[in-house]
Amino acid sequence: MTAGNRPLVYGHRGARSEEPENTLRSFRRAAALGADGIELDVRVSADGHLVVVHDATVDRTTDGEGEVAALTLAQLRSLDAGSGERIPTLDEALASFDGLVQVEIKAPEAVRVIRDLPDRAVLTSFHPDVLEDAARRLPGVARGLITHDPGEAMLRTAKDLGATWVCPAHTDALTAELVERCHAAGLRVDSWPAADRQLMRRFVELGVDAVTTDHPGLIDGWLEG
């Protein structure tokens, strides 16, 4: 928990509710809004560069078309990702924000391309095999398991993986008792989505360590009001 007894706040793909997601503009906006960290998504271009984009294709988030893995960095850079922004590389994203960073691996091959990450970064994935590969290749980098299904299996899998974080979606199965068990196992808990005042207050009641939200600028107001 941060000072003031609120969870850490991660801006989901930056400040996604206000700026084009996964862009430098979005990450800088999240910082300006007081986010403690950002969450971003990583894939690999056709010529082997780590790029920050959520979907397997560029169709939804840019003015282009095609699979990210089939486009070179130069081709990806030629696209408008919103408000004139370009798809950033992972290095550019890290340089744009000096707080905490969750790097979600969207393409398993990204683990083979990442050479190093700062101590403030955590590698995350929904897929245990991706985190196993990360543990072998990047043993010094913290790891987090994302899941739609909080519960015993989540806790067991995260412990087996040597993860330091679990990132469960909010469901009825996410209880204060489960959060306490995670803490007892040495796991920190980042839940999502912190989408409104009611959910944010619920996360505080549960005792989670962090939340991920599209609305980093609204969190403190939701807790105060």
Catalytic residue annotation: 12, 54
d(CA 23, CA 74): 16
The sign of the dihedral angle between the CA atoms of 216, 217, 218, 224 is: positive
Burial of 13 (0-12, 13-18, 19+ CB in 10 A): buried
Nearest to 218 by CA among 189, 194, 202: 194
What CA–CA distance (Å, rounded) separates 213 from 196? 9
* Residue 186: other Cβ atoms inside 10 A: 11
| 122 backbone φψ class: left, alpha, beta (φ>0; ψ -120 to 50) | beta
Tokens at 35, concatenated: 């986010």
In degrees rounded to 5, what are phi and psi of residue 166? Answer: -120, 140
